[in-house]
A and B are shown apart, each in its own frame.
Chain A
């Protein structure tokens, strides 16, 4: 059984990808994720200039959900250059550079600077739900703004494929995906965290997160991720690859996202639930399921639900 995937010409040994925001600050953590079995790694969101995050607590969790308001801290382009350069010395698996900015113009500048470092893909974070106080409504919440960012990034990214990371917290993720596709997006990452949500400590009557609200992730959000991936896949007729992310804990979860339309599957919060070995565990579980069901190549799963529905409708 073959778990590898070739996406826009890039070979991934398996479909699991370290999602942005988890570890991901240094070359050493990307290598550690690869050693733990990830087929690809994503950087934490990179800013052109230094950006401070929120005060702790920034990540809290229960069995069902994780809530985070880390606030996208980063040291800026110099550090990105150093760490990406270090990783590329032996680069065990493909690197997806996730970028963020405060304005359309700065998205262009950041993309230009990061594209020079030649990551395999650029992933554009236009959908973080925990920096609204500072940056206003995420760009991913409007078709117009999302398309404007896509266009600005595409204008400077050369041959590096651009994935737009979409928000589930919108009326129509399909319409936003179509606008980005029309603006030149090469693929999508679906979804960023849900909400935002809030948790209160009873005795002190205070919100636990210092930022008060944070993006929801973890097992609870998987059905939202599955629906959003299916929407984006259908809206783009399965022509653009999707990195499906949201609530994946097991190999069967990963396969479900693939049936909805994901070509690669991001794993984030599950690192906190199952430990760093989650990547190899998920791969082993996917492989076992596929072997049982006679699936020879993991790519056969991508968009499988959509094909099944089409067949049924044509009967």
Chain B
């Protein structure tokens, strides 16, 4: 599979597709919503909005294969072949998952080793302007800098579909512009993005679809 995805960096991206059919999601036994059908493939930006606690994070988890659907299915495919979520999806959670006692460079290098993209670490750190902070332990980074580190991890994952949970939280205007730029570049290379947020960052303008979760009355 690895060589399949290295092609994303090249000019001919793989055809990745995430298809949701009649999906119902529950959290801790409480149903959140039912009957969701949609699909995301190369070039799409799906913007998920909704109030806190409505189930955005749980939905993203299901799209990334980290929660099982209550009913309905989520199917992932690469070049029209069914595959696993991890073959095409990268997931950026709301919370930072950097290990506090590792430096930014060490933390990123570890994931780069797991993804087999060690050569990209330096480039990714520069891209998110963390170059000068590479040797600082992540516990000493600010919340916004941790977000940037998480963005670097998306870059080194080399997966076509980015699933991002509130990426703009804690970021300054430069940071928001950075997300905008990274997502645009990712889409331009044939990637796709699913972004959950209640605030309207600038990427919204380029979203191809929005999915609104609204409380039933």
A and B interact physically:
no
* B interface list, Cβ under 8 A from A: none
* A interface list, Cβ under 8 A from B: none
